[in-house]
Structure 1
Amino acid sequence: MLEKDQESLFTTWLEEHSPSVMKVARAYTLTPDDCQDLAQEILLQAWRSLTNFEGKASPSTWFYRVALQTAMNWHRKDKPRRSRQQPLMEVQAVAAQDPNSAEQAQYRDTVEQLYAAIHQLPKTDAALVLLYLDELSYREMAEVLGISESNVGVKLNRAKKALSTLMGEQTHGS
């Protein structure tokens, strides 16, 4: 692939898949700065890996796989520094006419609780939940994670139960 074609393809994919990159980065980090750093690392790794794209998977599956693998590696390497940090609960604002409405506040609270619960899941389960939230099919999730579709179903049900328990604990604990 010519470099100009590669750059054009990457730009197109970036426009289509940048929200997924940010979701993955947010799920694996505790602070906005770390989220931005990880997102940049994911994009750098995707650029470096683009020449290895063989077209066997869809671009979204390939991009997710790169994002999740990069995030899991980053998470593992960065663990000592993160153990000294406290999470900063900052939620991206949802477009609304009145950002201070009760409905908006409830939404932000729910999203904060969800991300806090996702942070407590094992990282492979967190990855699966993110794929589910992005409404990927079981087949697409299986391709991204390199597991069978039936295993996706089993793991996803367990992750949902764990999230439900964690969300319940956070609601009752606050």
Structure 2
Amino acid sequence: MLEEDAKSLFIDWLEKHKASVVQVARAYTLGSEESQDLAQEILLQAWHSLPRFRGQASPATWFYRVALHTAMNWRRNDQRRRTCQQPLLEVQTIPSEAIDSAEHAEQRETLKQLYEAIHQLPKSDVALVLLYLDELSYREMASVLGISESNVGVRLNRAKKTLSQLLNVEVAEG
């Protein structure tokens, strides 16, 4: 693939999948600045991995794999450097149009609690929950994570139960 073709393809994929990159980066970091650093690292890793893309998976699946593997490595390396736990993230401001300040504060708190709970899950379950939140099918989740569809179902149910306990809420089965 020519350099210019690769660049054009990468930019196209990035436009389609940047929300997933940001979501993964936010879930695996402790603050907005760190989240931006991780997102840049994910994009750098994706760019370096592009020549190895063989089309055996969809671009969305490939981007997720790169993002998740990079984030897991980042988190593992970050935990070695840290001696104390910090808040999971600084939740970005939700646009204030049509949202009053009470609703805004409640949504921010809910989002913060969700990410804090997700952060407490095992690394493999964090990845699974992020894929679920991004509404991927079981088949797509299985492809990204390299596990069977039935294993996706079992692990996802376990992760949902754990999250519901952490958040003290009821979660629908299935």
User: Please, what TM-score do these two structures have when normalized by structure 2?
Assistant: 0.91
1:27 alignment partner in structure 2:
27
Q: Which runs of 5+ in 1 are unaligned?
A: 170-174
Q: Which runs of 5+ in 2 are unaligned?
A: 170-174
Residues 63-82 of structure 1: matches in 2 within 5 Å? 63-82=63-82
Matched letter for residue 140 of structure 1: E
Matching of residue 136 in structure 1 with residue 130 in structure 2:
no
Rounded Cα–Cα distance in structure 1 between residues aligned with 2:63 and 2:42: 9
Q: Bigger shift: 136-145 or 30-39?
A: 30-39
Deviations along 1:70-111, whole A, 9 cap, x unmatched?
Answer: 111111122122333512642122234155432222211111
**Equivalent residues of 2:88, 2:115 under 8 A apart:** no
> How many pairs were matched up?
169
Percentage of identical aligned residues: 69
Secondary structure at the aligned position of 1:78 is classed as helix
Residues 1-174 of structure 1: matches in 2 within 5 Å? 1-87=1-87, 89-168=89-168
Rounded Cα–Cα distance in structure 1 between residues aligned with 2:149 and 2:34: 32
Rounded Cα–Cα distance in structure 1 between residues aligned with 2:104 and 2:83: 32
Q: Bigger shift: 91-100 or 51-60?
A: 91-100
Deviations along 1:16-46, whole A, 9 cap, x unmatched?
Answer: 1111111111111111121111111100000
Rounded Cα–Cα distance in structure 1 between residues aligned with 2:139 and 2:94: 30
How far has the Cα of 1:56 moved from its partner? 0.9
